Amino acid sequence: GWKMEDVMEQEIKVIQRMVGPDDHVICALSGGVDSTVAATLVHQAIGDRLHCVFVDNGLLRFNEQERVMKTFKEELHLPVTCVDAKEEFLSKLKGVVDPEAKRKIIGKEFISVFDEFGQDLERKIGKRPTFLVQGTLYPDVIESCPPPGSGRNHSHTIKSHHNVGGLPKDMKLKLIEPLKLLFKDEVRELGRILNVPVGFLKRHPFPGPGLAVRVLGDVTEGNALEILREVDEIFIEAIKRAGLYDKIWQAFAVFLPIKSVGVQGDQRTHSHVVALRAVTSQDGMTADWYNFEHKFLDDVSREICNRVRGVNRVVQDITSKPPSTIEWE
């Protein structure tokens, strides 16, 4: 590898050269490692001409908006505006079941929120932002559009990561992607150099399209999102209690749009099935499913069925990548 201090200094110079002295920049913070490190880097380069926005798209995890905004304020000292766009996103996703269609809609909706945020800024500071910061990583680039000569034998899109192929072509904002050549572990190292709190850098990756890729099919159907949030929270809390969080690359629950028969409190039930997924990985390009102890799985499964109304069956995903991807959509 590269020396991360050099990468940092070089990136800061590149950003300063790219962004003119009067230019203003928007950065969409997701609460994840990548966008936070990207924002911190750009903040070092151009100071308060950076304007961060956190979009509540209705596809966030349990209490995520409150948690993330608190961290930004108290630990990261980044200036962030929170935009509530739940209605916009969810109404556009209503009835949409195709995974790629969902991703495209979300990418488009994000851009329209950024555009509006830009117009608000123009009214406030008299200047329209011209750049958008994205925390795109090297694996996102490879999987969305493999560069020619990269040696990879697939030339088609695996998934259009919304921060790469998913963005609309007519977007007016120019992109700044300072992490485009880095892998996740390198981004974490860069974050350490930039003094991003270590607890933050250890967070599991969370995809830009959020829970939309973890509710299979129509995300607005019934109370799928609420159920998923509760199940996911129970699973992640159990992983943390067991001291396993840092051993796992990523863990989450998936909502399946099917029902199965169960018996709960002497009653026949016809309720939802949820899946648990946990994987280890170096860079997200390949991954192995994580083998929990029986006792752990037994406890989690019981807790989920006891506490979450509408769930009577829990299954575990025991597939690696390949042949599966990490997310289900």
36 is in an annotated binding site: yes
Would you say 250 or 301 has its CB closer to ligand XMP? 250
Task: Give the DSSP H/E element, type plus range, for residue 259.
Answer: strand 250-264
Would you say 180 or 259 has its CB closer to ligand XMP? 180
| Least distance between ligand XMP and beta carbon 173 (Å) | 18
Sign of the dihedral defined by the CA atoms of residues 177, 178, 182, 183, in that order? negative
Q: Does residue 321 touch ligand XMP according to CB under 6 A?
A: yes
81 is in an annotated binding site: no
| Least distance between ligand XMP and beta carbon 119 (Å) | 25
Residues 317, 279 contacting (CB under 8 angstroms): no
Structural tokens at position 205: 């990756």
Q: CA 53, CA 79: separation in Å to the nearest integer?
A: 8
177-209 CB burial, b ≥16 within 10 A, e <16:
bbbbebbbebbbbbbeebebeeebbeebbbbbb
Would you say 177 or 303 has its CB closer to ligand XMP? 177
30 is in an annotated binding site: yes
How many chain residues interact with ligand XMP (CB under 6 A)? Answer: 15
Q: Which stretch binds ligand XMP (CB under 6 A): 10-18, 149-157, 268-276, 318-326?
A: 318-326
31 is in an annotated binding site: yes
Would you say 4 or 251 has its CB closer to ligand XMP? 251
Q: What residues have CB less than 8 Å from 317, skipping those under 6 apart?
A: 254, 275, 276, 277, 289, 324, 328
| Least distance between ligand XMP and beta carbon 205 (Å) | 4
Q: Does residue 129 touch ligand XMP according to CB under 6 A?
A: no
| Longest alpha-carbon distance in the chain | 70
Would you say 121 or 276 has its CB closer to ligand XMP? 276
Task: Give the DSSP H/E element, type plus range, for residue 115.
Answer: helix 99-125
Residues 272, 255 contacting (CB under 8 angstroms): yes
Q: Which stretch binds ligand XMP (CB under 6 A): 60-68, 76-84, 201-209, 256-264?
A: 201-209
Q: Which residue of 24, 162, 214, 313 would you call a contact of ligand XMP, by CB under 6 A?
A: 162
Q: CA 148, CA 169: separation in Å to the nearest integer?
A: 20
Q: Which residue of 24, 102, 104, 161 would you call a contact of ligand XMP, by CB under 6 A?
A: 161
Q: Which of 299, 302, 278, 297 is nearest to 288 (CA)?
A: 278
Q: What residues have CB less than 8 Å from 323, skipping those under 6 apart?
A: none
Identify the residue whose tokens are 């269609």. Answer: 101
| Least distance between ligand XMP and beta carbon 285 (Å) | 7
Q: Which stretch binds ligand XMP (CB under 6 A): 12-20, 94-102, 207-215, 223-231?
A: 207-215
Q: Which residue of 163, 220, 301, 312 would you call a contact of ligand XMP, by CB under 6 A?
A: 163
Interacting residues toward ligand XMP by CB under 6 A: 143, 159, 161-163, 205, 207-209, 250, 284, 321, 325-327
- Please state the residue numbers annotated as binding site for ATP: 30-36
